[in-house]
Structure formats: structure tokens, C-alpha cells
Chains A and B, each alone.
Chain A
């Protein structure tokens, strides 16, 4: 239960700070950290919370945008980046980058209150 709440809260806050384009893209690192401090868990669990919440958030946002766009831009970008024009690879890469940063941020937060 705690994990589910953490995931939802982490994703929600990350989305919220992402709305303001004037803030840097990595602001979710700070909100992840805060959630990990506020809801203490085992480090490995915290990492998973951060990894899953940002990974899912970025993947779902990307899929939603990509569907609405008929892959017009994703295929172009997947040809500019070395992804052989595969929009699936591009979505996976997007999710993975978000997940990795998110996981590490939450992991860092988990160490604040653990003994």
C-alpha cells in the first residue's frame, strides 16, 4: 500500500513541477527526494518507487503524445538519434532515462531517514 501511495505521489508531484516550463526538466529529482524522505522505505523499495513512477509517467506521456501525432515526429527523432527510426525504441529510451534519474533520486532520499 505504502509503495502504491509513494508511486502515485511521486508521479503526481513530478508531473506538477513539469507543468512549469520555466523550471528545469530535472525538478522531479527534488520532489522524488522529498517523497522518499516523507514516506520512508527500504532503499531498494524507494529506488523502485522512483524508477517506476517517473518511468511510467514519461512513457505514458510519450505514448499519449505519439498516438495523437501518428508517430510523425517520433520517427524523425528516432532517425536523428541512432534508433533506426523506431518510435517504440524512442519511447522506451524516454521512459528509461526518466526512470533511471527518478530511481536514483528516490534512492538518495531514502538514505536520509534510514539507519
Chain B
């Protein structure tokens, strides 16, 4: 033996293998273990799925009560036929895991504040935020409630969990989803708690906006003073077209929330200036998490049967939040979009009834300011006495680093989210407890379970009456001809402005005085006008006896656009409804452009600015993909906005809430001498709208000339809509999609946000339905089904959804594969 060469060579070999088996740091990210990642028998190559793969399979599962047949159609949508409901949910769990495992695992990790565990200390601020907000606490409340009181839901979620785990247990290491290999970690077994965490995340996504907005709005009010604040953030929306038509008479409220006597001085007028300590806060949920839904009655359709439409607007991601599925058992037959992570169909239809949801936008999250006795934070002042907290320990594991422990004081209100240990620029050193309906043990999964089985209006009302958070506008239509919409959730009976800002928390004076009874939530069934609709606008006019919240929570113009179109339509077909869902008319600009032109002094414009204004005035007011006029209009409007109120908001060390567009537009329409138009920084001159519009146009022109040079004036090039992979890695995303639409447009597609599932259901016998989402049924970036619907979606096209009984589906030309689940 040549010992020295042997040792030298062995050391080099071991060294190389070690390096190739280690994650190396590249900037703030880490490389995969390169040897493992590139190994064709272990690494990413194993995820490169064969085009034209055969998905036929036979699976033995001892957990099943009977055999289950799954047929996959040409879009890889599974049609599950089971003899027992629980078996169907077992198989749904199995299929979610088979096609979307990494995403389910990742999203529940985010929700439970466990990102640092896989990504390192870099993600600690996100984890701490979710832990302190009470996400895990909320999921635990739900789990305890369902386990104790709801055997049917427990059995459903347990069956789903067993299905996910049956897939996980047979999963070979080399077949792990791509992202695990890239980021070098492994999945863990599913639990019911993860399902509840996922639903908590949806509550956060749809109501968590207040978690940031309430702080920012408080700081904005304090900075401006209440009087100026009231001008810029008015709750009066002159052009509101509410969900429940204006003029509807409401019954007397059963709760009369009483505004505390000292609220004007102690709450609304109060200003505080506290020391700042600046740390990063995670991105709040998108304010535009909204949606459209509507149903037209048979009186307005060609066939005489209702048509229901639903398109939830959410962050556009790959793998998609949605996964299409048909579930057929002896108790029901349902088709629609499901959440990987939860059993049942979330938005869809069965053979008698279709339903859809939009976000209600009501405020269900409030902050209460605490006074702790001392730095131990063991006692806080409450109702005239020092009161003990309980401490909730949240242990955050951090990759390559020591655990971080959050010791969260739990109070009458809920967790003390902000305290001496946790602050962000907007919390400004305050001790703040958060009270949120999402953490109060909702059993939301049951609503969908019941909607999946609902046959008529009464079933629908019963199903949604269980729904607490996030508040939604549930629309429904039946084959028997009923249409209805109801805003449902656990909504706080508020006095005006209650909870818009941080409230005093030293006693119960400012506490919630009750939850509005379900029967008093805004509802309408079979209205004379022949349709029901919602687009996140305020649900009612001012005659509704409860306070709905700040107007900025309720986008105004999409609702106007939907209703305007629906009123004018008759003899409606599903194709007409598809055209409406993808409609790009800009009703905001239709009002705002004449308002701008009213004040614009054209003769004073520079030649370039005049040319841009001509581009804007020649525009057809449609946000088409190739339109340049909309880009010009948008940038001019934004510049005018900054010119009008940029001066009032300037000088704040932290970002303030931006006033809404409708405030400026309503003022431009009625008052040419609005005091806000004056630039308060110019002492010798009083500016008016004429000055500010001309200034805005000139400022916009500078930006527009740059865009023109870069050839980015066309709307879709400027907007650059993308569907981002959950890791935000561009290579796994679809960038720069050719699509129009935008803010305030029915086709609400902005840069990374928009119609995440488009569905049109014609309530004929047997159901005629169309739909798609911007993604694909497979979550595997190495599959041709990963993004297979994206181009079709961007083009505004639809797939006919296959919804058939087993014998017919089996023989359908679009049915491609068969997965048999056999009980052992």
C-alpha cells in the first residue's frame, strides 16, 4: 500500500464530497448541497417529469372504508368517486400531497412562524410577527373546539390528515418535491393543526390588513391632527353603489353600541409623540385582497336559469393557492377550487347549487394599549387593579443558530403583540394587545363542508351561519332559480370609528360591546333587479344601523362597474359572463379624466406634456393590454395626487396612510377651492386645483418620457404582471404576462395580484361550468402541468369544467388516467 498517496487522495476525496454535501452561503441565501442536488438518481433531475407521463396508479390504503376511484382528466383535475365521505377526504388529502406537498408544508410554516427553522435568522422578523399576532394560538383554539364539540368535522379533518400522511409515508427520498432539494430540508407529517394553521393564514390574508393599517392610521391621525385627518380620510363615498341596493330598509339593531363619553378627547383627538426605534416589519397583506362575485337570475339569462360568477383576487402565486377537484359520494357531488391544506371545495358548485365568495373587508382586528406595572410585564392595569397576565411561550427554532423564545403576555384582550421586546416603526414604543376574531376558535371548515352539500337557500344560510372569520360576501344560485348574497362573519357592533385607531386598554370602556347577530348581517335574496353582486365595496348605504369601518377598506369603483354592466344586460349567456369577468373598462378614469381636464390649463403645458395629455384624451378608457393611454392616465393621476396632498404628509419620519383616490376625485368634482390643494410649503402663494393639475402633468411627463424611451408605455409592459413562485425565485415564476386590467377594473389584474380563480356556473340540469386559475394542477416546476393554465388565463379564456357522474366521466374523451385506491 502506498500510504501517503492513499491518505492524500482520501483526504481530497472526502474534502470534495464534504463541500459538495454542504450548503454554501451565497450572499444572504444558501446554495443547495450541490452533489446531492445534481445527482441524477437523488437530486433535482428526479423531479423532471416525463412529458406525457402516465398517471395511472393503484394504491392500497388500510385506512379506507371502501374502494375509491379517481379519474384524472386532460388538465390533471381529479374526479374522486368514493362510497364514504371520509374516504373522499382521505383521497383528497392524498392527492393534495401528491401534487402540492411542498406548498402545503411551506404555507403552514409561514403561518406558524417556522420559516427561520429552514431559512435561518434572516426570516426571524416574519416568524416573530406571526407568533406574536397569535397565529399558533388561534389554530390551537380551533383545534380544541373542534375536538371537543364537533365529531363530524374532526372525522373529516382526521381523514384528510391520514390521506396526506399515507402519501408521505410511501414517498421515497429521491421523489421529494423540488423545493425541498433546493432548500435542503424535509417534510414532516401532516396534523389537523396544520389545516387550522392554513385557515388562520387565510384569515390573516383577508383581515390582517388591519394589523398594519390600525397602527398606521393612528400615526397618521396623530401626525395630521383629527380635523385635517377627517378631511383626507373621510368615510363618505358619494358614488357608492353598495352590495345591498340603496334605499333598503333595515330592521332595528339589537345592539346599540355606545361611544364612551371621553372618546372625543381621549381617543379621537389624542395625539402622542413617542420615541421611535426602527426595525423591519413584515409586509402587510395586500390591501387589494378583494374579489368579484355575482349571480344573475333566470329573468336576465337566455336559458332562464341563473348564472353565478366568482373570481377571488389574491396574490398570484405558483404553485397556485387553488387546486381543482370533483368530489362525488352518495351524499353529494361537488366540483370547484380547493385549498391544498384543507378538505372539501372552497369555491364551487354541486348538482343543485353554486357559491362564491368575496372579502367583506370589515375590521375584526383591534389594538388596545396596555400599561404594565413594571418591566417584568407580569401585571397590567385593568379595570382599576393590577391584573396578572399568563405568559405564552413560543419557541422559534433558527437554522444554524440558537432558539429564540417569545414570552408573550396574554391579556383580557389577547396577546400583547407589541411590548418592550417587540416593536416596529409604526408601533412606536407602545404596549399593544391585539383582539382579533380569527383567534377566537372559528370552525370555518364546517361552512365549506355544508356548502358542498347544500341543496337550496335554507341549506346555504345554515352553512354560512357558522362562518366567523374572515368575513365574506357569500353569493349563491340554485338550479331551482334562487339567487342570494349575504355578508357573513362575526362582525363587531361598533360605534363610529371604534377600532379604527389604537384604543385605550386599561379598562373595558372601549371593549367590543357585542357581535352583530347573523340575522342582522346584510342579506338579499331574489331582488327585483334580477342580480346580486359584490366587489368589496361597502355592503350597505348609511341607513344600515352598524358602523362598517373606514372607507379606505372598501374599494368603490369595481362595484360600480359590475353593477352598471349587469343592469344593462339581458338574455345573458355564460360567454357574456366570461366577457364581463375579463372586462377592462375603467369607470374610475371615466370620471377622473374629465375632472382632470376641467382644471388643466392646456395652453400653459410644455410641448411634451401636451403630447402626453393628447395621448390620454384619445384613450378609449379601457385598460387593454396594448393601451398607452391608461399608462399616461395612471401616472398623471398619481402625480396630481402627490401634488395635492404630498405636502400635508411630508415631514413624517414614518410612512403614513395614503388617502384614497375617491377622496380627491369627489373633491375635484364638487369643489375647485379645496383647502388641501394649497401647497402649505409655499407661504406666499395659495395653490388651487388648476395649479396642482398642471404641476402633476408636468411631473408625470418626466416619468412618461423615460418610459417612452425604454419602450414601456404599453400597459402590459408597464404593469409587468407576474405569477411568482412562493420563494419569489424568478426562474420558477411566470414574468411579464400579456394581460390588461388593473386596479378598479373588473379584471383586477395588477402586477402580482388579481383573479386567482375565475369561475362561471350556469345552473342548468347537470350544470354547465367554466373556470381556471393562473397556475397548473401540479406544483412540480419540472412538470408540464406546473403552469399549464397561465397563458390561457392571461388571454381571458376559459376551460369547460368536466362535472359528470362516474359512468359518464369514465368514458369521456377528456378522461386520461385512473388511480384506484383499494382498502387493504
Interface residues in chain A, defined as those with a beta carbon under 8 Å from any beta carbon in chain B: 15, 18-19, 21-22, 24-26, 29, 43, 57-58, 61-62, 65-66, 68-70, 72-74, 76-77, 79-80, 85, 93-94, 97-98, 100-101, 104-105, 107-108, 111-115
Contacts of B10 in A (CB 8 A): 108
**CB <8 Å contact, B45 and A65:** yes
* 28 residue pairs bridging A and B, Cβ less than 8 Å apart: A18-B41, A18-B42, A21-B42, A61-B45, A62-B40, A66-B45, A68-B48, A69-B48, A70-B51, A72-B781, A73-B178, A76-B781, A77-B44, A80-B732, A85-B731, A93-B38, A94-B38, A101-B17, A101-B20, A104-B9, A104-B13, A111-B1, A111-B2, A111-B3, A113-B1, A114-B1, A114-B2, A115-B2
Interface string of B41-71 (1 = CB under 8 A from A): 1111111111100000000000000000000
Q: Closest CB-CB distance, B106 to chain A, in whole Å?
A: 17
In the complex, are the beta carbons of B42 and A25 less than 8 A apart?
yes
Using A72-B781, A101-B17, A104-B16 as known contacts, list a sample of 20 further A-B pairs with CB atoms less than 8 Å apart, ordered by residue number in A. A25-B41, A26-B21, A26-B35, A29-B13, A61-B41, A61-B45, A62-B40, A66-B45, A68-B51, A69-B50, A69-B782, A72-B51, A72-B783, A73-B44, A73-B48, A80-B729, A94-B45, A97-B38, A101-B35, A104-B9
Q: Give the residues in chain A near B12, CB-CB below 8 Å.
A: 104
B33 (CB) vs chain A CBs: closest residue:
A25
Flag if A66 contacts B48 (CB, 8 Å). yes
Q: Which residues of chain A have C-beta atoms less than 8 A from B384's C-beta?
A: none
Chain B residues within 8 Å of A21, by CB: 41-42, 172-175
CA distance A80 to B732 in the complex (A): 8
Are B13 and A108 in contact, CB atoms less than 8 angstroms apart? Answer: yes
Q: Does B622 contact A (CB under 8 A)?
A: no
Compute how far the CA of A100 lies from the CA of B38 in the bound complex, rounded to whole angstroms. Answer: 13
A-B interface contact total, Cβ < 8 Å: 125
Query: In the complex, which of the residues B16, B175, B730, B783 has the most CB atoms of chain A within 10 Å of its own CB atom?
Result: B16
Among candidates A24, A57, A65, A113, residue contacting B48 with C-beta atoms closer than 8 Å? A65
The reply to whether B6 and A76 contact each other, CB–CB distance below 8 Å, is no
- Give B contacts to A, CB under 8 Å: 1-3, 5-6, 9-10, 12-13, 16-17, 20-21, 34-36, 38-51, 172-175, 178, 182, 729-732, 781-784, 786
Cβ of A26 and Cβ of B45 under 8 Å apart?
Answer: no
List 9 A-B pairs, minimum CB-CB distance, nearest first: A21-B174, A73-B782, A18-B41, A79-B731, A61-B40, A111-B6, A69-B48, A21-B173, A25-B39
A73/B781 in contact, CB under 8 A: yes
* Residues on A with beta carbons closer than 8 Å to the beta carbon of B16: 100-101, 104
Q: What CA separation (Å) do A112 and B3 show in the bound complex? A: 8
* Distance of A56 Cα from B50 Cα, bound (Å): 21
Instruction: Collect the chain A residues with CB atoms within 8 Å of residue B783's CB.
Output: 72
Establish whether residues B731 and A76, one from each chain, have CB atoms under 8 Å apart when the complex forms: yes
A42 CB to closest chain B CB, in angstroms?
Answer: 12
Which residues of the partner chain A approach B42 to less than 8 Å between Cβ atoms? 18, 21, 25
